[in-house]
Amino acid sequence: MSSTNSTNVSSFSEKMGQIEDSATLSVMGTIKGLIAQGVDIINLTAGEPDFSPPQCVNDAAIKAIQDGMGRYTPSAGLLELRETVAEVIGNEIGISYEAKNIVVSNGGKISIVQALMAILDDGDEVLIPFPSWTSYPEMVKLAGGVPVMVSCDENMLPDLDALESACTERTVAILLNTPSNPTGVVFSEDFTRQLGEWCLAKGLRVISDEMYCSLTYNGAKHYSPLVVVPELQKTSAWIGGMSKSFAMTGWRMGYFAGPADWAAIVARIQSQLTGSPNSISQYASIAGLKNGTAERETMRLEFEKRSRLITVGIANIEGISCPEPQGAFYCFVDISRLIGCTDASGITINNGDDFARLLLEVDKIATIGGSAFGGQNHFRLSFAAPEKELERALAKLSSRVSTLLTSGKNSAQTC
Ligand code: GLU
């Protein structure tokens, strides 16, 4: 007897069985749910600005709705938006694109997956330096490719020797991300040149995720590999979007920019998937890109202040460490010294995930365990949260680490 409620597990795709849930979104979702129920949790999970988008964005969206603009748009996005995106990339990043090079999508994630789908055949390999954003390997798998995870060096920068060793005849592309989620590292000009030239020499397509390009701090400057090594532009893609810099995470607006032939295939894929990106968000994005940059800068300055607060705060906690984030809004905190310590609650710290669990269960601070990003002895903390919450979190973190170090000694380990 069959029922519509029963499922035969073996009938699901084996390929999709290999895809992990997004760790960031699932933890974030759980925490938001608990907060909605009234649980007092300091939420440092989300890579999500706690600000409102610029007023012009909200106004343009309301106007678009009132003017009846909630219709399909061209698959690649509205011409005016694509022209605006091209102009912004030209002015702010330094790559000359036209509308035909741009495809607007419902979020940077779709932009990356579609870019991968357009270039990968089954079994093609994509290099991913890690620690990296949790979604990259799954995106490569979704597009039929094989993610090849390559450990970064001790400065959390892609390691050229390790990349060289990981390259095979099936390697077709590399996913780069500066400023980095989860480490906050920003590539210097020199490093970007070395890396870009290596990619060019190997004939790799670069998918350069620069979603956080306008969020750099304390004098750090953003360098795109596609600008520092311009020859890469012929074969590489640039990814950006509205989510982080304009506080528009839920509006889902990302963009692909690349060679016209690659953009045409991405647009074709999109025409069969989402059809076209959300029209109201597109009108809002045009307004944001044209008139919202002053508010974007106000938000950046606020993140910069918070980055200092959190860097100094963590530097003052004996037992954990974190390089100063130069961009994005994450700290990737090293807890190696706490390995082997056991808390009074009974949680033993064997890795960064254990420590994140301890912080959540005992101190009600929600972060993301490092394994989601390929960092064994780390956890990621987002400082896209109000200053007061960050101060509360730092105080609790400090006392938790000091308690662990003084009374959490495991006889076999020195904490
Ligand atoms: N990119 C953000 C993060 O890493 C948002 C969640 C996601 O899509 O991963 O927190």
| Residues 210, 239 contacting (CB under 8 angstroms) | yes
Give the residue from 292, 322, 340 where a domain finishes: 292
The atom of ligand 1 lying closest to the CA of 211 is: 1
At residue 132, does pLDDT exceed 90?
Answer: yes
CATH code of the domain containing 376: 3.90.1150.10
* Token pair recorded at residue 347: 């949680």
pTM (2 d.p.)? 0.95
Please name the residue that has the structure tokens 């999970």: 45
Same-domain check for residues 388 and 268: no
Q: pLDDT confidence of 407, banded at 50, 70, 90?
A: confident
Residue 146 lies in a domain: yes
Same-domain check for residues 170 and 277: yes
Residue 410 lies in a domain: no
Residue 365: give the domain boundaries.
14-51+295-405
Residue identifier of the C-alpha nearest atom 10 of ligand 1: 47
Mutate to test the pocket of ligand 1, among 20, 25, 50 (most ligand atoms within 8 A of CB): 25
Mutate to test the pocket of ligand 1, among 21, 48, 242 (most ligand atoms within 8 A of CB): 48
Residue 7 lies in a domain: no
Same-domain check for residues 172 and 274: yes
Same-domain check for residues 65 and 168: yes
What pLDDT, in 10s, does the model give residues 278-325? 999 999 999 999 999 999 999 999 999 999 999 999 999 999 999 999
Distance 249 CA to ligand 1 centre (A): 9
Three-class DSSP labels, 363-405 = HCEECEEHHHHCCCCEEEEECCCCHHHHHHHHHHHHHHHHHHH
Instruction: Measure the CA–CA gap between 177 and 330, rounded to whole angstroms.
Output: 13
Residue 226 lies in a domain: yes
Same-domain check for residues 282 and 354: no
What pLDDT, in 10s, does the model give residues 142-169? 999 999 999 999 999 999 999 999 999 9
Give the residue from 257, 292, 327 where a domain finishes: 292
What pLDDT, in 10s, does the model give residues 111-125? 999 999 999 999 999
* Token pair recorded at residue 262: 């690659």
At residue 8, does pLDDT exceed 70?
Answer: no
Please name the residue that has the structure tokens 């894929």: 269
Strand partners of residue 47: none
Number of domains in the chain: 2
Of the candidates 380, 375, 297, 273, the one whose C-alpha atom is nearest the C-alpha of residue 332 is: 380
Give the relative orientation of helices 79-88 and 279-291 as an angle to the nearest 10 degrees. Answer: 30
| Confidence at residue 402, expressed as pLDDT on a 0 to 100 scale | 94
Residue 199 lies in a domain: yes
Same-domain check for residues 288 and 299: no
At residue 171, does pLDDT exceed 80?
Answer: yes
Same-domain check for residues 288 and 370: no
DSSP 144: T
Of the candidates 32, 84, 5, the one whose C-alpha atom is nearest the C-alpha of residue 289 is: 84
Same-domain check for residues 95 and 215: yes
Of the candidates 175, 144, 180, 172, the one whose C-alpha atom is nearest the C-alpha of residue 19 is: 144
What pLDDT, in 10s, does the model give residues 274-291? 999 999 999 999 999 999
DSSP 46: -
The atom of ligand 1 lying closest to the CA of 181 is: 4
CA atoms within 13 A of residue 140's CA, in its CB half-sphere: 21
Give the residue from 241, 260, 292 where a domain finishes: 292
Same-domain check for residues 205 and 220: yes
